[in-house]
Amino acid sequence: MKYWDSQRTCRTSIFRWFRYYFWRKWLDLFRDSRLYIIRFYQRGVRGWSMQDCWSFDYYLCNVISEGCKHLENVAHGHPVELTSEKWSEILLEIASGFDEFKKMLDFDVDTSTKGSTKEYVKLCDERKAKFDKSLDLMKIYFGNLWD
C-alpha cells in the first residue's frame, strides 16, 4: 500500500504541474495576446497605449533616455552654437538624468547605502540634481532634438 501511495503522489504532482503550469501558461498567453495586439495598435496610432498611462513618468523616462542615446549615435546635425562633440555630451547628459530619475522610481539603491537612511537620502538628492539639470537642458534644447 505504501508503494502505491508514493507512486500516486508522483503521478499527481506531474499531472498538477502539467495542468497548472504548462497548460495555464499557454491559456494566459492566448488570452493576453489580444491585449498585446491592442497595445501595439494604440502605440502605432497614438504613440502611447492605455498601459503606458499606468506609470506615464516611467514610460517617458524610457522613451526620452533611449531616444537621446539613439540620437547621439545617429545624429547628422547639431545646433549652430554647439560643436558636434558638445552636442553629443548634452544628449548623453539628458539621457543620464532621465536614467537617474528612472532609478529613483525603481528604488534602485547601491549596496553601500542599504543600511543607512542618510546615505539613501543623499543619493536621492544627487539623482534629483542630475535629473533637474537634464530637465534644464531639455528646456533649452528641446527644439533641437532632431536628426
Indicate the pLDDT class of residue 134, thresholds 50, 70 and 90: very high
Query: Is the model more confident about 61 or about 9?
Result: 61
The yes-or-no verdict on residue 133 having pLDDT over 60 is yes
Please write the tens of the pLDDT for every residue from 17-60: 676 776 677 777 778 888 889 999 999 999 889 888 888 999 99
- 138, 93 contact by CB (below 8 A): no
CA distances from 1 to 5, 6, 10 (A): 6, 9, 15
Can you give the pLDDT at residue 13? 67
Which 3 state secondary structure label does DSSP give 80?
Answer: coil
Can you give the pLDDT at residue 94? 95
Lowest mean pLDDT among 9-13, 29-33, 43-47, 133-137: 9-13
Query: Is the model more confident about 14 or about 92?
Result: 92
| Residues 6 or more apart whose Cβ sits within 8 Å of residue 103 | 127
The yes-or-no verdict on residue 8 having pLDDT over 80 is no
Please write the tens of the pLDDT for every residue from 78-131: 888 999 899 999 999 999 999 999 988 888 766 555 667 788 788 889 999 999
Domain boundaries, the chain: 1-50, 53-147
- 117, 147 contact by CB (below 8 A): no
